[in-house]
Structure 1
């Protein structure tokens, strides 16, 4: 299967996770970062999922999988170790609903990559199941290359771009300035402030 990397807006999208164990918990933890509306369908939950339910951060259908009681969803995540249930979900799921099969990514439409987020910067890494440990190792390297304070630098670039694109200077001049702000020195706040002041006064 050929999976194309793509960014999805999951804000307020309905996502159903079938299964309430450790794998389901990891999926919930990841999806909660993106403001999705999450429902877990499982007779039992891990302690962490139970707490999230009690805090009303997720919904819970306390039952085994049933296609007849499955809420409408943009994405269904199958996170059980029951092969019969996994096969049933894949067979019964509406065609327009995306599917992530945690136990076998090639059986679904969606693969969950390793993700590094620094504000507006998102970097995803996947080996398509070849080596999850390699994915973890690459993410560790990226965390060193892009530390948490890199988010502030990305915000600076966003602010510059908004000011430059809204200016009355020519397209060619805009492109030249947008290239200029990528200079390494602008990763330092002192130079960022100087440039932002210059942009405010000159364009």
Structure 2
């Protein structure tokens, strides 16, 4: 894997799913300048608020063939394996795809990013343990604050 930072403001991003994992992904995308389209029959209250605020495009319905056609980045966040397979079958090698249910089917992974002023540090486990990455993030945050503010 080759670590990069991506400017999301010009990318077409689709998140399929409306639950806890999708909400966490969408919050991160919006925080970094993205305006993703969320497609799911059931949507969390947080995602509904973000849609009302104009931060995301919401399509409250089931996934349909063609939903990923124009997307440059796709997040699969459903707990329905049949739907996940359908999404994977229509994505192409030119799209960035993150299957949150099975990282081996992804061609990119998110990293935890800690930022303090102009200094940023990315933490990754290669998609194997997001929980461990979060623990390391907590430990690193205080260190970065002391380093940058000294």
Same fold (TM over 0.5): yes
Alignment correspondent of 1:168: none
Query: What's the offset of the Cα at 1:14?
Result: 1.3
Q: Does 1:147 align with 2:150?
A: no
Alignment correspondent of 1:49: 47
**Any stretches of 5+ residues in structure 1 without a counterpart?**
154-186, 188-203
The structure with more helix, counted as a fraction of residues: 1
**Any stretches of 5+ residues in structure 2 without a counterpart?**
none
Q: Does 1:135 align with 2:138?
A: no
Per-residue CA shift, 1:55-74, capped at 9, x if unaligned? 11100112111122446111
Matching of residues 31-50 of structure 1 within 5 Å = 31-50=29-48
Does the CA contact (< 8 Å) of 1:12 and 1:37 recur in 2? no
- Give the count of matched residue pairs: 150
Alignment correspondent of 2:93: 95
Matching of residues 1-203 of structure 1 within 5 Å = 3-70=1-68, 72-147=70-145, 150=148, 187=150
Q: 1:146 to 1:12 in 2, by over 3 A?
A: same
State the TM-score, normalized to the length of structure 2: 0.90
Q: Which has the higher contact order (CA 8 A, sep 6+)?
A: 2
State the TM-score, normalized to the length of structure 1: 0.68
Question: 2:142 & 2:32 partners in 1: Cα distance?
Answer: 23
Alignment correspondent of 1:165: none
Question: 2:33 & 2:99 partners in 1: Cα distance?
Answer: 21
